[in-house]
Chain A
Amino acid sequence: MSGAGPREAVFPTRQSLGLMKSKLKGAEIGHSLLKRKSEALTKRFRDITRRIDEAKQKMGRVMQIAAFSLAEVSYAVGGDIGYQIQESAKQARFRVRSKHENVSGVFLPQFESYTKEGVNDFGLTGLGKGGQQIQRCRETYARAVETLVELASLQTAFLVLDEVIKVVNRRVNAIEHVIIPRTENTIKYINSELDELDREEFYRLKKVSNKKQRDTAAADAEILAARQRQAEKDKENGGAAEEPDSVDVLGEQEDTDVIF
């Protein structure tokens, strides 16, 4: 029974039994906590995947509208502004900063878009014509990029969570299927070893007490014989029976104490 599963290499003592018991208790608490964490994360994860799916569809629409506003620009300007835009880009006006959100002890990064004030590379683009369309196109695209940033943080959260959930589930499974059985096995082993020791001890004591009884019986018989001899002697010469009697009483008391 004790050799059925893997167990830890410990001496089967009462102390290590106590250790193992507290270890088992710890593992069970840890298991239930991790399980709950994994459930919380998975809930979050499903939520995020659903939102990613939605956001991706939304992105399709938003980008289409944005592309269309660019078409309006090329209609109004009547030419290609691409190159000029590429060349006049210097400082990013639209930036992101990252912050964290704590979900059951996991830091999920989130991007937050912000506009750096005072940077405007394209203020004069389309001065002669099309400026208003360009302005509107910029706004449309800025909104589109906000959607993209939102999607990016969802996606990053998705990747991070995916990783974390895998790790947590691995731990849950490890505790459930490896650590707890092993600890239980160890406890069983220690228990059985301790029982074995108990039985040995009991048997030994029984043996000892048997032997003692035998010895006592032999001693009693001797004393009895001695007394009879004494009684016979007393009958023969009367008196002087006091002293040896008292010595016998003490000897008897000592013997009973030893037995039990």
Chain B
Amino acid sequence: MEGLFFNVNGGYVEGIVRGYRNCLLSGQNYSNLTQCETIDDVKLQLAPAYGDFLASLPPNPSTSALAGRMTDKLVSEFRYLIAQATGSTAKFLEYLTYGYMIDNIALLITGTLHERDTRELLERCHPLGWFETLPVLCVATNIEELYNSVLIETPLAPYFKGSLSHQDLDELNIEIVRNTLYKNYLEDFYNFISTHPDFAGTPTQEVMTEILQFEADRRAINITLNSFGTELSKLERRKLYPEFGKLYPEGSLMLSRAEDVEGVALAVSAVGDYKAFFDAVGLSQGGGGGLGGMGGGPADGKSLEDLFYQKEMEMSKLVFTRQFTPAVVYAWMKLKEQEIRNVTWIAECIAQNQKERIGNFISVF
């Protein structure tokens, strides 16, 4: 049924994204890239996919410059999509940018707190998280002003409301602010795709629910793992867990009580996928060893984060088997981001002569 009307508004965007998807680097491309000797070679290999965007780079550019140009391409493609989208699809695409906005705002808050010249920070903001009132944030010179007059004008205002006061911005660690915002954002996004009349009961809800639940669980697990040994109390930690996902509520509760890696492994053991990950990196029985080890863990040198990324990529790939949904845009963006990370990684390995680890990227095509 939804197929009848989806294409009226969203068909074009979906078509374009499917075209973009074909530009993603394949396994063959990656194996060519890993053979490169210099960054210039990498540039050459990327030419079919990235063409003009890399043309203006100087010979042997730095990896960060390379990544910057690749991001530019992603941004310009996404801007094109969002310009073409209407109605609920447009709203959906806007939601995608909120994650980047959170990062940008966290950046500006940090700058304001330390009384830096926030204007120069604008260049550092992620272009996808750009919104019209972002430059206005720079006007504020203290946190209270920022909160009262500027933040409420931003699209993120609802995420601040209710959970963060301006005193919180001043006192809490910026990471807590960021994660609180992200939690609110995920919940809102989840709510949006489950209740919006255009999405409820469609493939969009189906796939996005799965993806967002995964994202929520991943954040919860990561936050827990990373909070060990820091001043973050269990109570505060619990506030940062998104209140949905496969782990919610029992798993979240157990996570919030977890004292060590084994506790986390126990908490997630109810969900098959996550249990498999923990088993793979040897955290569930062995405890502590090889926690963050890219190259250190026993499972082909994959760390937990790598496995999460891998899973995310596979889910994103599967999204393309569905039709009539803007979720493909989300999937495409995630794939593209991973691709940029992959290429940066490969370039970094080449630039620093660390070829033995060059295969440590995630390719799903």
Contacts and interface: CB of A to CB of B under 8 A. Distances in A.
Instruction: State yes or no: do A and B come from one complex.
Output: yes
Which of B240, B304, B352 has the most chain A CB atoms inside 10 A of its CB? B352
A79 B128 CA distance: 13
A128 interface: yes
Given A75-B344, A87-B111, A132 B179 contact: no
Contacts of A131: 222, 225-226, 292
A78 B308 CA distance: 13
Contact of A83 (B110, B178, B227): B110
Q: Which of A78, A79, A132 has the most CB of B within 10 A?
A: A132
A90 to B, nearest CB: 10
A87 B114 contact: yes
Which secondary structure dominates where chain B touches chain A? Answer: helix
Nearest to B229: A123
Nearest to A126: B226
Given A68-B348, A87-B114, A132 B305 contact: yes
Interface residues of B, number: 47
B126 interface: yes
B232 A124 contact: yes
Contacts of B364: none
A128 B352 contact: no
A64 interface: yes
Residue of B182, B227, B305, B352 with most chain A CB atoms under a 10 A cut-off: B305
Contact of A74 (B173, B230, B303, B344): B344
A124 B222 CA distance: 11
A84 interface: yes
A76 B292 CA distance: 10
A83 to B, nearest CB: 6
28 contacts: A71-B63, A72-B294, A75-B341, A75-B344, A76-B305, A79-B103, A83-B121, A84-B110, A87-B110, A87-B116, A88-B110, A124-B226, A124-B227, A124-B232, A127-B176, A127-B178, A127-B222, A127-B226, A128-B182, A129-B305, A130-B305, A131-B225, A131-B226, A131-B292, A132-B291, A132-B303, A132-B304, A133-B305
Nearest to B291: A132
A80 interface: yes
Given A72-B294, A87-B110, A133-B305, 18 more contacts: A64-B353, A68-B348, A71-B344, A71-B349, A80-B124, A83-B124, A84-B106, A87-B116, A120-B230, A120-B231, A123-B232, A124-B173, A128-B219, A128-B222, A130-B305, A131-B226, A132-B303, A136-B293
A71 B352 contact: yes
Contacts of A79: 103, 126
B341 A78 contact: yes
A135 interface: yes
Given A68-B352, A130-B305, A78 B223 contact: no
Contacts of B292: 131-133, 135-136
B231 A123 contact: yes
A127 B223 contact: yes
A191 interface: no
B294 A68 contact: no
Nearest to A123: B230
Q: Chain B CB within 10 Å — which of A79, A127, A135 has the most?
A: A127
